[in-house]
A and B are shown apart, each in its own frame.
Chain A
Amino acid sequence: MTEQAATTATSTQPDDDAGGPSVQAGPTVPPATISALLDLVQATYRPGSALTDTERERLQTTIGHMQAASAAIHAYPLTNADEPDPIFSAFRAE
C-alpha cells in the first residue's frame, strides 16, 4: 500500500440530490485513516486483485467525503439518553 497524501475532508450532499457531492472545506482526514479504509474496501470487494489507479483515486475521494460526514455528526452533541427512532416492533402472528 502506498502512502497517501493528506485528504481534505468535505461535507457532502447525498448523490440523488440535484447531483453529486456538494463540497465544503473541512478538517483534514489523516492519510492513515483513508488508507486503512481503502484496505477494508479492497479486502471486502476485491480480495486478491489490485484496485486500478482510477478506482483508488475515486475511492479515496468518496471515503474522504464520508469521513467528513462522520466528523460532522460526531461534532454534534448527544447524550446517552438520545435514541434513534425505532422501526422495529416485536412480531406476533394473529
Chain B
Amino acid sequence: MAIDEAVLVSASLRELGRMLRTGETNPTELANAYLERLDTVGRRFNAVVTLTRDRAMREARQAGEELAAGHDRGPLHGIPYGLKDLVATANIPTTWGAVPYREQVFDRDATVVTRLGAAGAVLIAKLAMVELAGGMGYEQPDASLTGPGLSPWNVEGWSGGSSSGSGSAVGSRSVPFAIGSETFGSILTPASFCGVSGLRPTYGRVSRHGAMALCWTMDKLGPMARSADDCGLVLDAIAGHDAEDPCSLTQPYRYAPEESRSDGFRLAVLKGATDGAEAEVKANFEAAVAVLRGVATIEEVELPEIPYGAVATTIIRAEASASFDDLISSGRISELTAPEDRINPMSYITVSARDYLRALRIRRHIGRAVDALMARYDAVLSPTTNGVAYKIGEPFPTARTRSVGSALGAAGNVAGVPAISMPNGIGARGLPTAIQFVGRALDENRILAVANAYQRLTDWHLRLPPLQV
C-alpha cells in the first residue's frame, strides 16, 4: 500500500496513530514515506543533516511488531520524528551544526531520545541547526555547516534559528514532529518563520542530558509540530525528572487535553505588543485577539521595568564563554561558517564574574515579577516575531526591528516560563506570521488549552506552504 501524499502533509499525530492501529498504514511504510519526503522536499530547505535510515527501519519494525501484538506504547507509537542535531544519538553523528564537530559521534542517546524511544517514536533524521545554537553571535542566516535554513513558505526567506531544520522539516510537512531547543527564541522564532506550532517548556521540564550545552541555566528542549495538540502529546512523552540533569524538575507532567476549557479564559495582551511590527503582523495579531475575545476576557498589561535583555545577554555570553572555552581557546572557532562567529566569542571573556552574578541576582527579581504577572492569567499574548522571515542574504542588524514582544521573549526565557507559538496569518512575501502565548511556570497545560481553543476556532495551522502541495 502507498500512503496518500495528502495524508502525509496534513495528518495530525492522532490521525496517524489511528491509521497505524486500523492497519491503513504501518510504521515501516510511514517511516519510509517521510524519509523519502525529507530526502527530497526537506533537503530543498536545508533541513537535513543526517537521515537515520537504518535506525529508523529497526525502530519501525519493532513498533510494527509491538502494535500487531497489542503492545501499545501510546500516541507516538510508530510515529516518525526528526531531532535537532544538538541532541546526542548513539553511533550517529551529532554535529551541533558546526564544522569543528562534523565528525562527532556519541556512544549513547540523550535522555529525550530514550524517552521518545520508550514511547515508540521512530527517529528518521538529525535536523539542521544554526552552528552551536547561535551562541557565537551570528548575524546572518548563513551560519550552519548545512547552509542557511530556508522557509518552506518562500525560499527567499530564512527558516529562523537556531532550530532551523526542525522548523522547516515540520513546516514542509517532511516530519510529523521534531525536537528543537531554545535558549532565547530558538524554538519560537523558527516556529513563527516556518508556520508551525512550537512549544518552549518550563526550564527543567525536559531533561537536557545529552544535549549540547550553550547556557546551562537557560537551555530548554521542546516539540515543534503541526498543532498545539501535537505539541502536547510530544511533551507528555519527553517531560519528567531525570537524575542526570541537575536542573531537571521533580514535578511530573501529563498532557491533559480532556481538561481543556473552551471558554472562560483570562488572557492579557502586552501593552505596545505590536509597536514596530510589520503591518500584516499587527493586523493578524489584532484579528487573533478578536477571535480569542469570543472565549476569553482580555486585559492589557505591562511588564515591570527590569533590564530583561541585558540580563539574558550577560548570562548567555558568560556561560557560552565557559561551555565553549576549549573551542574558543584552541582557535578552532576559525572553522565556523559565519565570519562573525569566528570572532565574537572571544569578546565574551569580558563579561566579569561580578556582572554574571549580578545578572543572576536580578534574575530572581525577574522570576518573581513574571510569576506575579502570569499568575493572574492563563496566558499573556504578543506577536512571536514582529516581522516575517528575514530575507536570505540580508544581515540581521538591518533586517530586524525592536518591539515589546522581544522583551516578553527575554523575560520569558530568563524566567524559564513556558510559551507556545502558532501561525495566525500570512504576512509579507507570502510568509507566515505568528502569535505567542506565554504562561506561568509549570502551566504548559493552561497555554495549551488556550492554544487548542484558538486552533479549533481558526485554520491557520492547517494551511500548507504553496511550494509543498
List residues of A whose CB falls within 8 A of some B CB: 11-24, 37, 40-41, 44-46, 54-55, 58-59, 62-63, 65-70, 72-76, 78, 82-85, 87
Given A19-B400, A83-B364, 6 additional A-B pairs, CB 8 A: A12-B310, A16-B186, A44-B346, A59-B347, A84-B361, A87-B217
Write out the residue numbers on chain B whose beta carbons fall within 8 Å of the beta carbon of A74. 355, 358
- Which listed segment binds A: B32-40, B61-69, B136-144? B136-144
Query: B360 within 8 Å of A by Cβ?
Result: yes
Minimum CB–CB distance for A34 against chain B, Å: 9
A22 close to B406 (CB less than 8 A): yes
> Interface stretch among B280-288, B312-320, B453-461?
B312-320
Q: Which residues of the partner chain A approach B328 to less than 8 Å between Cβ atoms?
A: 45
The 7 closest A-B pairs by CB, nearest first: A16-B134, A20-B396, A84-B360, A72-B310, A19-B396, A17-B185, A69-B310
Given contacts A19-B138, A83-B364, contact A12 B350 (CB under 8 A): no
Q: Is the CB of B314 within 8 A of A87?
A: no
Q: Cβ of A14: which chain B residues have Cβ within 8 Å of it?
A: 183-185, 309, 312-313, 316-317, 410
With an 8 A cutoff between CB atoms, is B351 at the interface? yes
Chain A, Cβ-Cβ closest to B186? A16
- B110-145 Cβ-contact flags toward A at 8 Å (1 or 0): 000000000000000000001001111111110000
B359 touches A73 (CB 8 A): yes
Give the distance to chain B from A56, nearest Cβ to Cβ, in Å. 9
Assess A20 versus B363: contact at CB under 8 Å? Given A72-B307, A87-B246.
no
The interface on chain B, measured as residues whose beta carbon lies within 8 A of the other chain's beta carbons, has a size of: 69
CA distance A8 to B370 in the complex (A): 30
Q: How many A-B residue pairs have CB under 8 A?
A: 178
Pairs across A and B, CB under 8 Å, 6 listed: A16-B134, A16-B316, A18-B406, A20-B139, A22-B309, A59-B344
Complex Cα distance, B357 from A84, in Å, reads 7
B200 CB, min distance to chain A CBs, angstroms: 13
B314–A70 contact, CB under 8 A? yes
Query: Do the beta carbons of A82 and B346 come within 8 Å of each other?
Result: no
How far is it, in angstroms, between the C-alpha of A29 and the C-alpha of B293 when the chains are bound? 47
C-alpha gap A70/B329 in the complex (Å):
24
Interface string of B157-171 (1 = CB under 8 A from A): 010111000000000
In-complex Cβ contact of A12 among B313, B340, B349 (8 A): B313
Q: With A17-B189, A85-B364 in contact, is A37–B350 under 8 Å at CB?
A: yes
Counting CB contacts under 8 A, is B177 at the interface? no
Q: Which residues of B contact A12 (CB under 8 A)?
A: 309-310, 313
Q: Which residues from chain A contact B313 at a C-beta distance below 8 Å?
A: 11-14, 65-66, 69
Taking A16-B130, A19-B390, A69-B313 as contacts, is the C-beta distance between A76 and B306 under 8 angstroms?
yes
Contact status A13-B406, CB under 8 Å: yes
**Does any Cβ of A come within 8 Å of B252's Cβ?**
no
A16, A24, A58: the one contacting B344 at CB < 8 Å is: A58
Question: Which residue of B158, B343, B355, B363 contacts A55 across the interface (Cβ within 8 Å)?
Answer: B343
Residue B82 lies at the interface, judged by CB distance under 8 Å to chain A: no
Q: With a CB–CB cut-off of 8 A, which chain B residues contact A19?
A: 138-141, 158, 161, 189, 390, 396, 399-400
